[in-house]
Structure formats: structure tokens, C-alpha cells
Structure 1
Amino acid sequence: VSPLGTIWHHVLPNIAVQLITILAISYVGLLEGAVVTEIVFSWPGIGQYMTNALMIGDMNAIVAGTIIVVFIFMLLNFLADVAYAVFDPRMRVDTPG
């Protein structure tokens, strides 16, 4: 068996759930770090938009930006939960009948 075959068929199924968790948490960390990156490099984005809104006191824009970030966070958690059901047979729900 090749090393790639060993990883693909034996290692990946055993670490899939943990890998999905780490990837989802890492992406949320990148989303949080976007604010700093956008301010330092003057890139337009939601982080810079929220920072500018905070500086001028635009609470509606801050709430809207927060809702967008929370929605992305919830979407990532939902996708991770769906991926758990795909990769871990113990998570699947059996329907009677």
C-alpha cells in the first residue's frame, strides 16, 4: 500500500471530525483577524467598515456588521455539524421504518 493510500483510507477517516473542528475554528480566527489586517494594510472590507463606523459612532452600521460576522460564524458551525454527519457514522440519525 502506498503512503498516500494509507493516509487516505486509514488516517483520514479517523481524524475527519477533529480536522473539521479545527478548520472551522481556524476560519473564525481568520475572520476575527481580518479587522486588524484591513486596518493595517488599508484594505476595504467589513473590518475596516466596522472600525470606521465605530470611530464616527454609527451604531446601525456596527450592529449590521456584527450581524454579518455572527451569521458567518453560525454558517460555519452549521456546515461543520453537517460535515460531522457525513464523516462520522455515529452521528447519523436512523429513521424508523
Structure 2
Amino acid sequence: MLDNSFQLTGLLTIEGIVLEANQTALTFGGLQLEDVVTRPFGETYWWKISQSTQDSLRPAIARAAQGEFIRYEVHLGAGNQIATIDFSIRPLKNEFSGVKMLD
């Protein structure tokens, strides 16, 4: 399902650990899935361009874990490719409107 999107898309645990990333995101970063799965999202290659961007991810992920929709612009890319991305973290909700915990 994720690979059918032209958007850079992934799935994180509530703690911000990467569970999945689509091929569009992997290709953009020049990455393979094993480069990102089980790693903290802020420590993946996509975010190495800026320490301030990495630092802003931790509280953003924590706010999303509490159920908040997070949106802002970030600058990232692989090699010499830099792009401004309209970035969002959207929590998956369970049937009781709480953030869904994934096993």
C-alpha cells in the first residue's frame, strides 16, 4: 500500500522507531529499507542534513504520540539533492480515538 504513493511515506512506533518506509522515500534518500527499519526516525539519513531538524523531530513525535497532528516544512535530501518538504506526522487512531499502538 505504501509503495503506491508518490509521497514520501513511512510508519513509526509511538516512540519514533521506523517500522516501514515506502520506495519513494527510500529512493529519495538513496536508501534501502534495512538502512532505516528499527532505527529512531530522527537518526535516519533523511535528517542528517541539520541537527536542528533532528532536534525538532523528538518533540514532534512525542506530540503526535499524544494524538496531535503535526505539520511543518523541513529541508532534506540525499547527496547534493535538497528539497523543501511539507512534512507531517499523523497518529493512527484506534476505535476509541486513542493513538493506536502497533506491535
Structure-1-length-normalised TM-score = 0.29
Normalized per residue, which structure has more helix? 1
Structure-2-length-normalised TM-score = 0.28
